[in-house]
Structure 1
C-alpha cells in the first residue's frame, strides 16, 4: 500500500517544490545536492516533498549548493501558507491592544 503523507504546510510544500525545481534544472541528484549542502539525502527528500520545515541554516546551505539566493526559495511565502493556528495575533494587533490599555 502506497500512502503519501500530506505536506506539513503549504509553506513547506512551496519551498520543497522550488528546491526540487532548481535541483532538476541544474541536473543534480538528491544525493549530490544533499552532499553539497552537508545533509542526509533522506532529509532533503522530506524537504522537497514538503514533509519537513528546514531551519534557516539548512535553507541557506541548500541555496548555496544550488547557486541561488535563499530569498528566491522563500519569496512570496506568507503567513497564510503556514498551518492554521487557533490564535493568530500580529505585531500590529498587539500594539493596538496595548494602546487601548494605555488610553
Structure 2
C-alpha cells in the first residue's frame, strides 16, 4: 500500500475525490477522460502520488474545475514536510543580508 506523501498531497487527493463523487463518476471514468493512468489516478486520490503540471491541468479540465481550486492553500505552512520545504528566494536574500551585516 502506498503512503501519503504530504498534507498537501492528502488535501489535493481529497479535492479530486470529492469532485469526482459530486459528478457521480468512477475513478476509471475520470482517469480515462483525462488520459491519466488509472493506477496513477488512484494514488493521487489517496495522497500518494506526485502529479506533473500537465496531469493537474488535465484533471482540472476533466473535473470542470479551475486549477486554482485544486491547488489553493497547498503551499501554506505545514502542508509539506520540513525536509521537502523549498528554500525560497526571500529566505536566501534574508540570509545573505544577515551574513553581510545589513
Q: What TM-score, normalized to structure 1?
A: 0.85
Runs of 5+ consecutive residues of structure 2 not aligned to the other structure: none
Question: In the alignment, which residue of structure 2 is the partner of 1:94?
Answer: 92
CA distance in 2, matches of 1:102, 1:49: 47
Deviations 1:57-96 (A, max 9, x none): 1011000000110110111112521122188633222112
Q: What TM-score, normalized to structure 2?
A: 0.86
More off after superposition, 7-16 vs 78-87:
78-87
Moved >6 Å (runs of 4+): none
Runs of 5+ consecutive residues of structure 1 not aligned to the other structure: none
Question: In the alignment, which residue of structure 2 is the partner of 1:84?
Answer: 82
CA distance in 1, matches of 2:3, 2:73: 21
CA distance in 1, matches of 2:84, 2:45: 27
Q: Identify the match of residue 21 of structure 2 among 15, 21, 24.
A: 24
CA distance in 2, matches of 1:45, 1:95: 40
- Offset of 1:48 from its aligned partner? 0.1
Contact 2:2–2:43 (Cα < 8 Å) also in 1: no
CA distance in 1, matches of 2:61, 2:17: 14
Deviations 1:26-54 (A, max 9, x none): 00111110011101111100000001111
